[in-house]
């Protein structure tokens, strides 16, 4: 008998793939709801035997009945809701962004309420906090507005129906599977270096570096026991100079032609992780040097197997 069971929405994404890996490593049964019909990113972390154990359901979180069936039929103890459209996709199609990110989350919350799930975690973002520049109220994103709405929904679901939740706002995530969006550049630098290609990270200064495996462990720790209340936490990782990371990549791949240039990212690099660590207790913390060398090692193996989509370096 599996020790526990979890349904993960958006599990073909970077964070979701790591959540699946950590769930299976813990001996949990895993059920997926994702638009994707095949586990392209989880395949980067899991072998065929492990993938075969996953109950993979293709479906849209914006569809109420699909979500209801997935959560209720799956009979899971825990739900981790990650399925979402990222910043540029929400900007390009605001209605689609609202459907997936807000209606999709309402669907998951309703299903969690109906199923009586007491172990529920979902991803928000630092973008929910809006402006990064003090005094400028206009630097928000639709993505952030949708995430802020989700945070408030989570609070109301506890207030009105005692549906418990742990909302986590991951910062800048790196690791295998991180292949889209501006903050994927450090991971792409690791991949480019491993593949013998040149790459320039388009930002400099300092940034937070959060290993994808650590985020996954935080989500699973959040749903490893029944909870009470609606909790919201930042998850930042560690504050480093981008050049320090460039140097770690060069150390892991001697001769690597990687560099960084440009302005600092518009996110604070040093948000405190103390509240989430105090609440959850022990979960993984991978120092940047270990995270870079593990990522490069994984990329070496994946390049040998020929299953990496190298067009990501041009995106
Ligand atoms: N990666 C980061 O740095 C970061 C930072 C802050 C917050 N987040 C949040 O964490 C969560 C996971 O992020 P990620 O980087 O793994 O994202 P990702 O873009 O890599 O993956 C998102 C997944 O959601 C799925 N999806 C999209 N629309 C869907 C729909 N309508 N129905 C079902 N599935 C759908 C996609 O197929 C994909 O597998 C998201 O909610 C994201 O907003 C990520």
- For ligand 1, pick from 58, 59, 84 the residue to mutate: most ligand atoms within 8 Å of CB: 84
pLDDT for residue 167 is more than 70: yes
For 87, the enclosing helix (H) or strand (E) is helix 87-92
The predicted model gives 212-222 an average pLDDT of 98
Asked if residues 226 and 119 have their Cβ atoms less than 8 Å apart, the reply is: yes
Ligand 1 atom closest to Cα of residue 172: 3
pLDDT at residue 263 is higher than 90: yes
Rg of the chain in Å (alpha carbons) = 19
Residue ranges per structural domain of the chain: 5-314
Which of 287 and 182 is assigned the larger pLDDT? 287
How big is the chain, counted in residues? 315
Ligand 1 centre from 67 Cα, in Å?
16
Confidence of residue 312 (pLDDT cuts 50, 70, 90): confident
Q: Which of 11, 83, 154 to mutate to test the pocket of ligand 1 (most atoms within 8 A of CB)?
A: 83
The chain-wide mean pLDDT, for the chain, equals 94
State the DSSP code for 43: G
- Residue 61: CB within 6 Å of ligand 1? yes
CA 283 – ligand 1 centroid, Å: 22
> Is residue 139 predicted with pLDDT exceeding 90?
no
Average pLDDT over residues 115-140: 82
Q: For 212, how many CA atoms within 13 A lie in the half-sphere containing its CB? A: 27
Strand partners, 277: none
Q: Which pLDDT does position 311 carry in this prediction?
A: 85
Pick from 174, 255, 155: which is nearest to 214 by CA?
Answer: 174
Give the rounded distance of the alpha carbon of 107 from its chain centre: 20
Rounded distance between C-alpha atoms, residue 262 and residue 264, angstroms: 7
Which pLDDT does position 127 carry in this prediction?
86
Which atom of ligand 1 is least distant from the CA of 60?
32
Neighbours of 43 (CB within 10 A): 18
Q: Tell me which of 7, 9, 10, 168 to substitute to probe ligand 1's pocket, judged by most ligand atoms within 8 Å of the beta carbon.
A: 10
Q: How does pLDDT run across 267-282, given as a tens digit for each residue?
A: 788 899 999 999 999 9
Does residue 244 register a pLDDT over 90?
Answer: yes
The pLDDT-based confidence of 3 (bands split at 50, 70, 90) is: confident
Burial of 234 by CB count in 10 Å (0-12 exposed, 13-18 middle, 19+ buried)?
Answer: buried
Among the ranges given (212-226, 245-259, 298-312), the one the predictor scored with the smallest mean pLDDT: 298-312
Beta strands in the chain (DSSP E): 5-9, 29-34, 55-58, 78-81, 119-123, 165-170, 173-174, 199-201, 206-211, 230-235, 238-241, 258-260
| pLDDT at residue number 195 | 96
Which protein residue has the closest C-alpha to ligand 1 atom 32? 60
User: pLDDT, tens digit, for every residue of 69-121?
Assistant: 999 999 999 999 999 999 889 999 999 999 999 999 999 999 999 999 999 99
Give residue 211's pLDDT. 98
- Contact indicator for 159, 229 with CB cutoff of 8 Å: no
User: Does position 134 have pLDDT exceeding 70, yes or no?
Assistant: no
d(CA 112, CA 53): 23
- With b for 16 or more beta-carbon neighbours within 10 A and e for fewer, the 168-204 pattern comes to bbbbbbbbbbbbeeebbbbbbbbbbbbbeeebbbebb
- Rounded to whole angstroms, how far apart are CA atoms 258 and 193? 7
DSSP 8-state secondary structure symbol assigned to residue 99: I
Render pLDDT for 35-67 as a digit per residue (tens, 0 to 9): 999 999 999 999 999 999 999 999 999 999 999
Whether the CB of 185 sits within 6 Å of ligand 1: no
CATH fold for the domain made of 5-314: Rossmann fold (3.40.50)
pLDDT at 290 over 70: yes
Whole-number percent of the chain with pLDDT over 90: 86
pLDDT for the residue 136:
65
Q: In angstroms, what is the span from residue 251 Cα to ligand 1's centroid?
A: 31
């Amino acid at each position: 008998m599996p020790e526990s069971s979890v349904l993960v929405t958006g599990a073909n994404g970077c964070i979701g793939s790591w959540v699946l890996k950590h769930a299976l490593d813990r001996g949990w049964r895993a059920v997926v709801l994702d638009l994707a019909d095949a586990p392209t990113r989880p395949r980067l972390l899991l072998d065929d035997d492990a993938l075969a154990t996953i109950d993979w359901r293709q479906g849209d979180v914006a569809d109420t009945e699909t979500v209801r069936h997935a959560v209720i039929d799956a009979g899971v103890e825990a739900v981790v809701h990650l399925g979402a459209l990222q910043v540029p996709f929400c900007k390009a199609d605001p209605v689609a962004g609202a459907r997936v990110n807000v209606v999709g989350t309402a669907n998951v919350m309703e299903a969690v309420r109906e199923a009586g799930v007491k172990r529920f975690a979902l991803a928000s973002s630092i973008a929910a906090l809006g402006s990064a520049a003090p005094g400028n109220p206009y630097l928000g994103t639709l993505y952030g507005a949708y995430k802020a709405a989700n945070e408030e929904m989570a609070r109301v679901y506890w207030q009105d129906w005692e549906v418990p939740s742990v909302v986590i706002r991951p910062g800048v995530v790196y690791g295998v599977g991180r292949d889209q969006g501006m903050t994927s550049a450090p991971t792409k630098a690791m991949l480019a270096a491993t593949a013998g290609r040149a790459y320039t990270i388009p930002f400099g200064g300092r940034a937070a570096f959060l290993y994808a495996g650590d985020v996954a462990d935080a989500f699973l720790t959040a749903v490893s026991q029944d909870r009470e209340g609606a909790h919201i936490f930042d998850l930042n990782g560690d504050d480093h100079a981008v050049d320090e990371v460039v140097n770690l990549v060069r150390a892991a791949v001697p001769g690597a032609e990687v560099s960084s240039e440009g302005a600092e990212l518009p996110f604070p690099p040093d948000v405190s992780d103390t509240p989430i660590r105090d609440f959850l207790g022990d979960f993984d913390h991978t120092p940047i040097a270990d995270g870079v060398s593990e990522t490069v090692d994984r990329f070496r193996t994946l390049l040998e197997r020929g299953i990496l989509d190298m067009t990501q370096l041009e995106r």
